[in-house]
């Protein structure tokens, strides 16, 4: 997947589309008016920009995404690790948990993920 940079507003818009797709462009205008307080031209401008970036398509008045939410956020996470932690996942995790305490449940979930990875590895 190519790197797609989104600003905070574009990301909120994409989340709306992901939550409702496929969605008619008319319904999308209504959703954005309700959730973002946008007018119709703003919705269509942001939609056009995200279509140009290759994240969405608007075909026959029906808006869909070309990249799933999970794929997008996974790639975004990988980009943070690569750019900010020189590709070191352990360094990222250490930085992430340094300012917060993990619950026992979270620790168990992480251990289970690692165990599953080792089995598959």
b or e along 32-60 (b: 16 or more beta carbons within 10 Å of the residue's beta carbon)? Answer: beeeeebeeebbbebbeebeebebbebee
In this predicted structure, what is the pLDDT of residue 28?
A: 98
Q: How confident is the model at residue 8 (pLDDT cuts 50, 70, 90)?
A: very high
User: For residue range 45-63, what is the model confidence (pLDDT) as tens digits?
Assistant: 999 999 999 999 999 999 9
Q: Where exactly are the structural domains of the chain?
A: 8-69, 88-121
In this predicted structure, what is the pLDDT of residue 94?
A: 87
Residues 102, 98: Cα–Cα separation, whole Å: 10
DSSP state letters, 21-53: -SEEHHHHHHHHHHHH---HHHHHHHHHHHHHT
Tell me, which fold does domain 8-69 have in CATH? Answer: Arc Repressor Mutant, subunit A (1.10.10)
Return the number of other C-beta atoms located less than 10 Å from residue 97's C-beta. Answer: 13
Q: Classify residue 13 by burial, with Cβ atoms within 10 Å: 0-12, 13-18, 19+.
A: buried
User: For residue range 79-109, what is the model confidence (pLDDT) as tens digits?
Assistant: 889 989 998 988 988 888 888 888 999 989 9
- The answer to whether residue 29 scores a pLDDT higher than 70 is yes
In this predicted structure, what is the pLDDT of residue 57?
A: 97
Average pLDDT of the chain, as a whole number: 92
In this predicted structure, what is the pLDDT of residue 80?
A: 86
Judged by DSSP in three states, 58 sits in strand
Q: How confident is the model at residue 1 (pLDDT cuts 50, 70, 90)?
A: low
In this predicted structure, what is the pLDDT of residue 40?
A: 97
Instruction: Give the CB-side neighbour count of residue 42, counting CA atoms within 13 A.
Output: 12
């Amino acid at each position: 997947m190519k790197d797609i940079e989104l600003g905070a507003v574009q990301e909120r818009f994409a989340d709306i589309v992901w939550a409702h797709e496929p969605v008619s462009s008319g319904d999308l205008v209504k959703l954005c008016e309700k959730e973002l307080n946008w007018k119709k031209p703003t919705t269509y401008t942001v939609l056009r920009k995200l279509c140009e970036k290759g994240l969405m398509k608007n075909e026959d008045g029906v808006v869909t995404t070309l990249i799933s939410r999970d794929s997008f956020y996974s790639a975004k996470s990988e980009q943070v690790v690569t750019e900010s932690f020189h590709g070191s996942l352990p360094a990222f995790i250490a930085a992430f948990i340094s300012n917060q305490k993990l619950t026992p449940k979270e620790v168990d979930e992480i251990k289970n993920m690692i165990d599953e990875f080792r089995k598959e590895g």
